[in-house]
Structure 1
């Protein structure tokens, strides 16, 4: 490749959010306190590098709680679980530590409140995503899942005047806004949170990648293929008319992407560790001289409390 320098710009913010940091911290503290093995239902967060690192330290990841020995220390992932999973865990006398992101828990509470007041609840989200499955299973009552404006037209609530909506936390803010507009147009009396109730970290990263795409020739999004928020970042970058690639790590880079390119932007999904971003930067530096800079942007200072069982003020 050419030896002329390439400008590499990092998005701000990028990478881990407070909910992900909390979830990983929960697994690490549980391993230190109780010793391995500690069982985790599903991936603690959607990133294979994080999962493998915790597995090496003694975490065991399972698909369902019936794979866990009775009485074992068990952690629910950041995406949340259904009430049926909670019931099954109690039946097996599992020592559960809940790593559900507090912002996901907030959606659960809102949905249950609407359902308890006799509303059909519309969940805006992606079918099959762990957070969506958990939220549907937490709300109870009648829940309708919509993923697009087209889905809105197929809705048949019990009472069109008693309809409410909640949202998956990792949606595209723009897509969610369009779906909410369609819901309001069809059900004028619908109630629900403002689109700004979508996770602060999701919004901040989407704003940052939009600015990033305006300044560079190519955008790289570091994140896992099954990470909803990482996929939304790639879609936004591509929607800005720039080649935008979702990569798990530096090993997924194709050098042909940078032929004739003078600038590359890098961001990372909320479950992607900064070490992977550093690896991408180092890889680019091995191909061509780079000029590295970081966009100005939101500095996130959000922190969520740990569960009572792992509170450092309580546990020696």
Structure 2
């Protein structure tokens, strides 16, 4: 059986930065540190950080006074920031810089007097954070049908921003519907959507041209991982989202000669390798790496974490 591995796959720069913030905070300040929401949407990552001393909470009220507090990669509403400030919590912000860019775009459009439309999925933490950052009413749409239902005059001065993990194709369709309806519309180009989302989706489309089965490694609550699976289905390839190799169903492999393997932006490479090992238990496997984009983007850590933690002194035994 051939296993073709998508390129790129797995961790993006925003996820790497967020995880490093938690790890370095634990090194510098000691355990526990408190993280509001899962730092990224992957249970394996969260559980590893929990073993190191991170405590994940959904409400700032769960964080003791004075405890080091980290905001997840998805971003938070301004009200959460204000609450942390009012309590004097020492905060490290792990919001992905590309999500922060969306926040800045939204604020800029509102400052210019435009009504803001957010293309995204209701209930997703990134969407909740963006809607709470803008400081004005935000209209959320996720489909062409939602655009038609917007209670806004067609000549209103409007602007849009997007959730970073959405499908480029789906977003393009919604933007086209906005352009068709509103005569005074501004917004970023489709290419302004998260680079990692675009690269991983393009790689999956290419992968699906040559495989009989697509496996996407990622968590069920990961928006970008779910979208990768959906793209496989749209391409006519049986496609499954699995957390790790333990979720591989041998029945999926019947008659399959080539398996496509990728991972969402919050899934570590070790889980991809775990899936390959699971495949090896059912068949002889030949692994091939696809050609694709090589990502070399890095995002800077907060200033407090750019210097290494001081080394702990080792007490002499006197011998």
Q: Shorter-chain TM-score category?
A: over 0.9
Does residue 1:273 correspond to 2:268, yes or no?
A: yes
SS in 2 for 1:216: coil
Q: Do the aligned residues in 1 keep the contact of 2:28 with 2:308 (CA within 8 Å)? A: no
Does residue 1:190 correspond to 2:182, yes or no?
A: no
SS in 2 for 1:139: coil
Q: Do the aligned residues in 2 keep the contact of 1:217 with 1:262 (CA within 8 Å)? A: yes
Tell me the distance in 1 between the aligned counterparts of 2:233 and 2:129: 30
Does residue 1:292 correspond to 2:287, yes or no?
A: yes
Distance 1:192 1:313, change over 3 A: farther
Structure 1 residue 70: Cα displacement: 1.1
After TM superposition, the structure 1 = structure 2 runs for residues 24-173 of structure 1, keeping only pairs within 5 Å, are: 24-157=19-152, 160-173=155-168
SS in 1 for 2:185: coil
SS in 1 for 2:172: helix
Tell me the distance in 2 between the aligned counterparts of 1:123 and 1:36: 37
C-alpha distance after superposition, 1:272-296 (max 9, x if no partner): 0000000001111111101110100
Structure 1 residue 189: Cα displacement: 1.8
Q: Do the aligned residues in 2 keep the contact of 1:8 with 1:292 (CA within 8 Å)? A: yes
Q: Do the aligned residues in 1 keep the contact of 2:37 with 2:58 (CA within 8 Å)? A: yes
Tell me the distance in 2 between the aligned counterparts of 1:161 and 1:154: 14
SS in 2 for 1:138: coil
C-alpha distance after superposition, 1:99-156 (max 9, x if no partner): 0000000000000011111111000000000000000000121210000000000112
Q: Do the aligned residues in 2 keep the contact of 1:220 with 1:244 (CA within 8 Å)? A: yes
Structure 1 residue 71: Cα displacement: 1.3
Structure-2-length-normalised TM-score: 0.96
Q: Do the aligned residues in 2 keep the contact of 1:71 with 1:93 (CA within 8 Å)? A: yes
Structure 1 residue 312: Cα displacement: 2.5
Which shows bigger deviation, 256-265 or 305-314?
Answer: 305-314
- Count of residues paired in the alignment: 311
In structure 2, what is the equivalent of residue 241 of structure 1?
236
RMSD over equivalenced CA pairs, Å: 1.3
In structure 2, what is the equivalent of residue 20 of structure 1?
15
Q: Do the aligned residues in 2 keep the contact of 1:120 with 1:158 (CA within 8 Å)? A: no
Structure 1 residue 160: Cα displacement: 3.2
Match of 2:176 among 178, 181, 202: 181
For structure 2, which runs of at least 5 residues remain unmatched after alignment? 312-319
Q: Do the aligned residues in 1 keep the contact of 2:75 with 2:129 (CA within 8 Å)? A: yes
Q: Do the aligned residues in 1 keep the contact of 2:15 with 2:96 (CA within 8 Å)? A: yes
Match of 1:257 among 245, 252, 257: 252
Tell me the distance in 2 between the aligned counterparts of 1:21 and 1:312: 17
Tell me the distance in 2 between the aligned counterparts of 1:213 and 1:203: 16
Tell me the distance in 1 between the aligned counterparts of 2:187 and 2:256: 45
Q: Do the aligned residues in 2 keep the contact of 1:14 with 1:270 (CA within 8 Å)? A: yes
For structure 1, which runs of at least 5 residues remain unmatched after alignment? 1-5
